[in-house]
A = this chain, B = another copy of it.
């Protein structure tokens, strides 16, 4: 929850070879936030300052510091731009990380994560009615995107229904917020995400690790995102629209029950 506005309005000038006119544009507020684990600052990130509790938990999960809802005790936001996650974990040394195409400040994955086995992916399925709910729900609720053209959104569907979406300046942060909602016990695992961002390695990796078996993108996957989806047994689709998916792996989770023939 955030009480700060997420947009500033600014005057601009539209210039063309034939003249100019004034305009007003809405610009997304990009802000730094620190993430701490049990009083130790782990890192800072540039984010959209909404749903910071979820972001903090998801950020730490993405970097390997927490791994399950049972570990989380509580999350505290302070006015100075810090989110602190209190968790029952050992404060280990930082794992060796690779900085990824991290649009959102969580663009770091540990080398170990790339090489280890994944938990067995759930056999949960989704049909086209539900895919439509997920995609339309995400896009309709992503008002900041419509206003600023500067955010990515990640929506989540599970337990048979669209559960909500999160926005952020970075696609990874938006996924982190979904994962954080799972870690904080607000969402169940076993569902599907729809992201407006590309499905690059770290995006898919985090879903594989947390137990999200279906990853849909409005855009494309990278080779490594696809490779991780294959290793983890996830269903990955790109260029996703409510009635059309380009499925790169495991199409069997997409069913037709209740739609057309």
Binds B, one of A65-73, A187-195, A206-214, A247-255: A247-255
Among A18, A44, A100, A224, max chain B CB count under 10 A is at: A100
Q: Is A143 part of the binding interface, using a Cβ–Cβ cutoff of 8 Å?
A: no
Binds B, one of A28-36, A84-92, A155-163, A177-185: A28-36
Q: Which residue of B has the minimal Cβ distance to A105?
A: B99
As a 0/1 sequence over residues 134 to 170 of chain A, the CB contacts with chain B under 8 angstroms (1 = contact) are: 0000000000000011100000000000000000011
Q: How many monomers of this protein are in the complex? A: 2
A12 proximity list for chain B (CB < 8 A): 238, 246-248
Q: Is A13 part of the binding interface, using a Cβ–Cβ cutoff of 8 Å?
A: yes
Q: Which residue of B has the minimal Cβ distance to A254?
A: B15
Q: Is A43 part of the binding interface, using a Cβ–Cβ cutoff of 8 Å?
A: yes
Q: Which of B8, B14, B97, B222 contacts A244 (CB 8 A)?
A: B14
Contact: A25 with B170, CB < 8 Å?
Answer: no
Contact: B226 with A27, CB < 8 Å?
Answer: yes
Given contacts A101-B170, A105-B102, A219-B150, are A248 and B46 in contact (CB under 8 A)?
A: no
Contact: B45 with A149, CB < 8 Å?
Answer: no
Given contacts A219-B150, A243-B16, A251-B15, are A201 and B99 in contact (CB under 8 A)?
A: no
Complex Cα distance, B239 from A251, in Å, reads 37
As a 0/1 sequence over residues 1 to 38 of chain A, the CB contacts with chain B under 8 angstroms (1 = contact) are: 00000001010111111101001010111111000000
Q: Is A225 part of the binding interface, using a Cβ–Cβ cutoff of 8 Å?
A: yes
Contact: A220 with B103, CB < 8 Å?
Answer: no
Chain B proximity of A18: nearest CB distance (Å): 5
Q: Which residue of B has the minimal Cβ distance to A33?
A: B98
Contact: B170 with A103, CB < 8 Å?
Answer: yes
Complex Cα distance, B128 from A16, in Å, reads 8
Chain B proximity of A197: nearest CB distance (Å): 9
Q: Which residue of B has the minimal Cβ distance to A16?
A: B244
Q: Which of B14, B18, B104, B245 contacts A101 (CB 8 A)?
A: B104
Contact: A223 with B8, CB < 8 Å?
Answer: yes
Chain B proximity of A241: nearest CB distance (Å): 9
Q: Is A107 part of the binding interface, using a Cβ–Cβ cutoff of 8 Å?
A: yes
Contact: B17 with A260, CB < 8 Å?
Answer: yes
Among A28, A29, A30, A224, max chain B CB count under 10 A is at: A30
User: Would you mind naming 18 contact pairs between A and B with Cβ atoms under 8 Å apart?
Assistant: A10-B248, A12-B238, A13-B246, A13-B247, A14-B247, A15-B237, A15-B244, A16-B245, A17-B259, A25-B238, A27-B222, A27-B248, A30-B201, A45-B100, A46-B101, A102-B102, A150-B200, A169-B198
